[in-house]
Amino acid sequence: MRPRHCVFTIPEELRSFFLNDRSLLGELFYSVRDAILYMFSKMNKIENFTPGFVCVLHSFGRDLKWNPHIHALISEGGAGNITPWRIVKHFDYTFLRNSFRKVLLNRMSKHIGPSFKKVKNEMYTKHSNGFYVRVKPNSCTPDKTIKYITRYICRPVIAASRIDKYDGYSVTFHYSRHEDDALVTETVPLLVFIKRLIVHIPENISKSFDTMEFMQNITSKKKISENAFPVRNVGSYVPYLIWKQSILLTFGYDPLRCPKCGTSMLVLEV
C-alpha cells in the first residue's frame, strides 16, 4: 500500500482565528478528513471507497510565523463495501481544493457563529479556486516519504543549525523559501524571535497528529485487512508490544485501543 503525501493549507486571512481559538485546530483536522473521504466516496457511491490516512498538524512556516497546516499520508487506494481493495492513483486536485474550502468554512461558521458570515463570503470571492492543497505524486520512495512526514511529529520550530548569530539583542537565522527554494537570512529583535517560538507551544489537551481508520462493518474488516496488508510473523512485532506497554505505563493509555469502540487493535505492518 503506497502512501501519498498531501498538504492542506489555509489562507493567511484565516490564520488569526486559529491563533486566538486553538480549539479550531480540531476543526481543521476534521475538515481534511471529510475532504479526503468525500473524494474517495464519489468514485463509486455504492462501493463508498474509504482510504487509510494519518494527519499531522504543523503550526509554523519556515519563517517561524503562525501558519497552521496539515500534512497527510493518504493510501493510494481504498476499501469498498464490495471490493476489498481498489488502487487509486489519480487524486482529484480541483475537487479537494473546493471540498476542503467548503467543509472548513462551514465548520468554522458553525463554531464561531454569525460574526463569521462576512469573512466566509469573502473567502469564496478571494479564493474562487478553493484553498491550496498539494496532492502531487511522491517523487521519492514510500520509505522516504514516511520518514519525512514522521519528522513533523516531534520536529522543533527551528533547529539550532539554522540560528546563525545572537548578539544579546537580536537573532539572525536562515531558511529556504518555499516559492523558489532561495536562501533567506532574517535578523529580528530577541523578543520578536521568542514570540515567534512560544506561539507554537501547544495547549495541554491538544494533539499534533491524528489517525483515520477504515470505516467498514465488522465482517468486511477482516477481509480488508487480509487483502490490503501482508500477514507477518507475530514474533516480529514483539518490540511494538514493549512500546505499547511503555506508553501505557508512562502516559496511562493504551495506544492500540480504538477510541471509538474500545477494542484493542493489532499491529499488522510498520
pLDDT (average), residues 215-219: 40
CA-to-CA dists, residue 67 to 102, 118, 259, angstroms? 20, 22, 29
Question: Which among 136, 49, 52, 139 is positioned nearest to 92, based on CA atoms?
Answer: 136
Flag whether pLDDT at 214 surpasses 60.
no
CA torsion, ordered 85, 89, 95, 96, to nearest 10 deg: 80
DSSP code string of 43-65 = T-TTT--B--EEEEEEEE-TT--
pLDDT value of position 217: 39
| Average pLDDT in the chain | 85
- Residue 205, all three cell numbers: 489537551
Furthest-apart CA pair in the chain: how many Å?
65
Per-residue confidence (pLDDT) for residue 203, from 0 to 100: 79
Percent of the chain at pLDDT exceeding 70: 84
64-70 mean pLDDT: 94
pLDDT of 145 above 90: no
**Is pLDDT at 261 greater than 90 in this prediction?**
no
R_g of the chain, CA atoms, integer Å: 21
- Kindly indicate the confidence band of residue 251, based on its pLDDT and cuts at 50, 70 and 90: confident
Residue 41 to residue 92: CA distance in whole angstroms: 12
What contacts 188, CB < 8 A, 6 or more positions away?
170, 171, 196
Residue 241 DSSP one-character state: H
Find the mean pLDDT for residues 184-213.
82
In whole angstroms, how far apart are CA 42 and each of 95, 134, 209, 224? 10, 20, 26, 20
pLDDT tens for 89-140 read: 999 999 999 999 999 999 999 999 999 999 999 999 999 999 999 998 887 7
Least confident of 162-171, 197-206, 232-241: 232-241
